[in-house]
A = this chain, B = another copy of it.
Amino acid sequence: MPPRRLTATAVENDRTGSETLTLVDTAYRDLRRDIIGGVFAPGQPLRLEVLRARYGLSFSPLREALNRLQSERLVQSAPLRGFSVAPFSAAQMWDAVETRVLVECEALRRAIAAGDDAWEARIVAAFHALNLKTKRLATRTTPPTAEEAQEIETSHYEFHRALIDVCGSPRLLDLADKLYAETERYRQPTLTGRTPKGTPRDVALEHREIMDATLAREEARAIELLAAHYRRTATLVEASLDAK
């Protein structure tokens, strides 16, 4: 039997049907998910042989995917020494967070100036979807499955994205996505651990206030709240980083 080569369409079009994905794309997507999800520890070398076995791909698509991830600062590389997961450091996290604040606040400013009815509707919808999922999990006693965690994750992303989606700048949105991934990687470890004592936090309330200020077109207030939201998260992450 001739060995069937894994091809772009053979792998992906089964499910999507619409978009053609190359193996580079799938490698990129999977690697990104696993790095953000903490499957590979920060600083850990990413041996090509290991990745090859894990994802069932050849070197070429893996290397290309790693190159893309490098430009997002999720992986590092030294010439002739291969790739490794970007290490954790408080300084790097703060740089990512502050850059994110700069980018997303500017994007929010423009979105507030340009947003229409559909924009408002999408924000409200995303907010409710996120809240529903969060509450549904909070009332249960069993810990969330990986899939459920991923869903919350996505809803969280959708909400923040809905705020700025109409800002009109492809570059700002692209940057926001990359910085989201970077900071999310730092947030991940704190999700499983307990919250630091003495700092109760109502994330849902923070989201509501951001949404209210945005829909009321109170630009200055919305920006201030959004920045505070991200910095508060960063402070908590930093505390849990130090605790280790």
Contact, CB under 8 Å: B169 / A80? no
Smallest CB separation, A4 vs chain B (Å):
18
Contact, CB under 8 Å: B80 / A8? yes
Give chain A interface residues in 69-97, CB to chain B under 8 Å: 70-73, 79-80, 92, 95-96
Tell yes or no: A41 within 8 A of B by CB. no
Contact, CB under 8 Å: B172 / A79? no
Residues of B within 8 A of A64 (CB): 63-64, 67
Main secondary structure of the interface of A (DSSP, over half): helix
Q: Which 5 A-B pairs give the minimum distances between C-beta atoms?
A: A71-B71, A99-B171, A67-B67, A20-B79, A22-B79
Q: Give Cα A88–Cα B156 distance, bound, in whole angstroms.
A: 35
Residues of B within 8 A of A51 (CB): none
A22's nearest neighbour on chain B, judged by CB, is: B79
Tell yes or no: A60 within 8 A of B by CB. yes
Tell yes or no: A219 within 8 A of B by CB. no
- Given the known interface contacts A8-B79, A21-B79, A80-B22, the answer about A98 and B169 at a Cβ–Cβ threshold of 8 Å is yes
Number of copies: 2
Give chain A interface residues in 130-187, CB to chain B under 8 Å: 169-172, 175
Tell yes or no: A212 within 8 A of B by CB. no
Tell yes or no: A106 within 8 A of B by CB. yes
Give chain A interface residues in 1-41, CB to chain B under 8 Å: 8, 19-22, 24-25
Contact, CB under 8 Å: A171 / B96? yes
Tell yes or no: A68 within 8 A of B by CB. yes
Residues of B within 8 A of A121 (CB): none
Residues of B within 8 A of A80 (CB): 8, 20, 22
Residues of B within 8 A of A25 (CB): 79
Contact, CB under 8 Å: B95 / A170? yes
Tell yes or no: A102 within 8 A of B by CB. yes
Smallest CB separation, A59 vs chain B (Å):
9
